[in-house]
Amino acid sequence: MQSMHTTQQATFYHPRQTVSGPAYSPWFKLLATLTTLALAGYGASVVLRFPILDYGFGVQMLLLLAAILLGLSYYGFLHSTVTVDDYGITQTWLINRQVAWSDVRSAKMIGIPLAGWLFPPRLVVRTGSSYHTFNGGTEALLTEFAKISLAFQMKK
C-alpha cells in the first residue's frame, strides 16, 4: 500500500516539456550589477582611506571574506538557472537546490506587490518539514510556476 501511495504522489505533476532558463530577470541582474559596483567602489575607498594593513588579522580577513562573498553572490545572480523537468525542480547557484516531485507537498507563488517588474513572483515549494524558494527570470519559467502552483492548489 505504501508503494502505491508513493507512486501516485510521484506522478501527480509532470510538466509537458522541460523548461529551463535564468533564475533572475535582466532588471534584477542590472540592479545586482549596480549594487555590486557601488559596494566594490565603497570597499576600494575604505581601503584607500584607512591603513588596512595596520589593523588586526581578524579585520583583514573579515574584509577579504566580505569581498569574496560579494563576488560569489554576484556570479551566482548572473549565472543561476532553473530547470523544471520530469524529475522535479532544480536551481543552480552557489549551492544547488533540487526538489523531486515525489517530495513536494504543496507549492505556491508569492510576489511583492507593485514590484513585480523587478522582483518577479517566486515559487515556494513545501516538502516534509522545509520550504524551498525558486526564482524565475523568464516568462516561460513563471508560466510553469503558475501551472505548478495551480496543480498543487487543486490537489487539496
Q: For residue 145, what pLDDT is reported?
A: 93
Pairing mode, if any, of strands 19-22 and 81-84? Answer: antiparallel
For residue 69, how many other CB atoms are within 10 A of its CB?
11
Summarize the confidence of residues 102-115 as an average pLDDT. 88
Q: Bridge partners of 108?
A: 124
Q: For residue 113, what pLDDT is reported?
A: 84
Q: Bridge partners of 97?
A: 91
For residue 55, how many other CB atoms are within 10 A of its CB?
12
Residue 94 pLDDT > 70, yes or no?
yes
Q: For residue 11, what pLDDT is reported?
A: 52
Question: To the nearest whole number, what is the mean pLDDT of the chain?
Answer: 87
Residues 13-30: pLDDT tens digits?
Answer: 888 899 999 999 998 999
What distance in Å separates the CA atoms of residue 83 and residue 33, rounded to the nearest whole number? 24
Residues 112-123: pLDDT tens digits?
Answer: 888 776 778 899
Residues 36-66: pLDDT tens digits?
Answer: 999 999 989 988 898 888 889 998 899 899 9
Task: Check residues 135 and 128 and name the one with the higher pLDDT.
Answer: 135
Amino acid type, 120: P
Reading the block at residue 60, the C-alpha cell is 583583514
What architecture does CATH give domain 2-23+82-155? Roll (2.30)
Q: For residue 144, what pLDDT is reported?
A: 93
Question: E strands along the chain, which residues?
Answer: 19-22, 81-84, 88-91, 97-100, 106-110, 122-126, 131-135
What distance in Å separates the CA atoms of residue 150 and residue 3, rounded to the nearest whole number? 26
